[in-house]
Amino acid sequence: MDMNMDIFEKQGNIALDTPEILREELPLQRFVGENQSQAVVEGEVALPGGLREETSVLSAEAMAVLERSQVQTGVVEADGKVTFHVLYTQGDPTHVSSLEASAEFSHNIDFSGAVPGMTAPISLMVEHVEASTQGGRMHLMAILRVVARVFSDEPLAVVTGIRNVDGLMMKTETLPACQMVASGAQDVLIRDECDLGAVLQITDTLYASATASVQDVMGGEERATISGNILLDVTHRSDMPSRPIVVTRHTIPFEEAVALVGEQGDSMCCDVVVKDVAVLSQEGKEEGERTLRAEVMLGLEANSTKRRDVCLLLDAYTTQGNMLTPQTQQVMRALSHKQVHTAESGKITLMLDGQTPVRTPLRASLRPIITDLITNNGKLQVEGMMEVTMLYMTDESEVPQSYTTEEPFQMSFACDLSRPESLILYPSNVEVNGITSDRVEIKFILHVSCYDVQMGNEPLVTGIDEQPAQPAQPGILLCFSQPGETVWDIAKRYRVSSDSLKRMNPDLGEGDSESSERVILWRK
């Protein structure tokens, strides 16, 4: 911030009656606030088997997708869809089946100060999933962590200066701000295929989960080119001895263009979310081989912002005539937008007390629940509970076993976030290895995705109040400053110029003293 601490405007020998207040409509993006809540999404689907067949749920996962957000008076509306994937057995307990179902949701977040016309970026994270069966139907439930941030792009009328006032002293500042000038969104379908080796003995592909991250964004005229990677985890049914389930992992690169509507800005911010995943496998050319085909629907979004520096009035007073009192308003404004993607590797050790002994771990699914966030010197520390569901085989039976627990976790990420509250955590590359019959090690990569906004919150002058001043006695005065007072503060309190105060007190500090200082001042 550039600041001019003491500007003295000489208006002549005759005081002018009416000050001229200079105003400007400042185009800036104001931060209205942030709110967090939980949404419970439920669904139900009929099972394909008979009503009398015994059904056992092995694991349940869910993916949440935001379809629309809208700001109404005092509330933010979020509409979306949750897609569930469930592994279960029905009838034959050794045969693993999968089920995919979706449930739409509409969730309202109470938001004081929200009005139509504002924008509300929303982040969704699945924190808990349950699946249960009764009477030939499967009931599904997911708990979502929903964070909404509300912004207003309405210009703010601020005071930039004052004219036609005798003995005027002004302090100005160069205020940085940003304004969103272009945006665009587009859904794209990414296709890929690869060979699955015969050694896996895959007989059928059940389902897949996917995450996507941005590696680079390049802004051109009226468009943004976004490139990144899709991480695909695919669960298959297998004929391998003692391993009815196998998991394969694949990386799919992408590079897509998004059309932007608006004017060209100074910087770009983009994000990508997975909206849908479809996979299937077919017999390959060689015996035992299979070909995996995958389709991933991505939602791409890009915004362009422009920085603008405006010289504004910070404070003002007069050394003679009427007193001028600036009226200020505390405004949180966006200085810059960025989408942060980073990841770190982690490890959890499970002790399966009281469970059947582990012979062959099959797979594990993880769901992090955030309990605390700490930012310090470019580091982000996340603490929480990790909900773990593990599938494994035992020595006693060919029936897959399921074990669900919660384990505390603490991860540190190398990223500098101004407002980490809306971050999303998601795991990938989950590997489970048996150590002993009652001890299992789970390794994973935990990703952070955060729509971060750097804020400025200096008070802005929105009006000037003029009042008659009490006549002051001229002469040389001796006074004492208050701890932390600056030269400007003292000069304003006694209605003298900062220059004259400094000439009389060359050793006077700039508010860095914790004690009072003796000050000599001359008042005409």
Amino acid at 18: T
Domains of the chain: 30-152 (no CATH), 472-524 (3.10.350.10)
d(CA 487, CA 493): 10
* Residue 392, helix vs strand vs coil: strand
What is the model's pTM? 0.84
* Residue 486, helix vs strand vs coil: coil
Residues 324/171, Cβ–Cβ less than 8 Å: no
Q: Nearest 5 degrees, angle CA 450-CA 452-CA 455?
A: 160
Closest Cα partner for 280 from 270, 269, 265, 290?
290
Residues 235/247, Cβ–Cβ less than 8 Å: yes
Q: Find the mean pLDDT for residues 474-491.
A: 85
Amino acid at 139: H
Residue 511: pLDDT over 70? no
Residue 319: pLDDT over 80? yes
Q: What percent of the chain has pLDDT over 90?
A: 58
Q: Find the mean pLDDT for residues 346-365.
A: 92
d(CA 4, CA 119): 35
Task: Please report the pLDDT score of residue 17 as a whole number.
Answer: 58
Closest Cα partner for 275 from 187, 185, 366, 368?
187
Residue 3: pLDDT over 90? no
The overall average pLDDT reported for the chain is: 89
- Which tens digits make up the pLDDT trace of 377-415? 889 999 999 999 999 999 888 999 999 999 999 999 999
Task: Please report the pLDDT score of residue 513 as a whole number.
Answer: 64
d(CA 487, CA 496): 10
Residue 473: pLDDT over 90? no
- Which tens digits make up the pLDDT trace of 131-182? 999 888 999 999 999 999 999 988 888 998 898 888 899 998 887 878 888 8
Q: What percent of the chain has pLDDT over 70?
A: 96
Q: Find the mean pLDDT for residues 415-433.
A: 92
SS3 labels along 272-289: EEEEEEEEEEEECCCCCC
Q: pLDDT band for 512, please (50, 70, 90 cuts).
A: low
- CA distances 7 to 22, 127, 174, 450, 464, Å, are 16, 56, 14, 43, 17
Phi, psi for residue 499 in degrees, rounded to 5: -65, -45
DSSP classification of residue 498: H
Q: pLDDT band for 99, please (50, 70, 90 cuts).
A: very high
d(CA 260, CA 268): 11
Task: Please report the pLDDT score of residue 457 as a whole number.
Answer: 84
Q: Find the mean pLDDT for residues 426-441.
A: 93
Total Cβ atoms within 10 A of residue 282:
11
The DSSP code sequence of 332-351 is -EEEEEEEEEEEEEEEEEEE
- Which tens digits make up the pLDDT trace of 209-244? 999 989 888 877 788 999 999 999 999 999 998 899
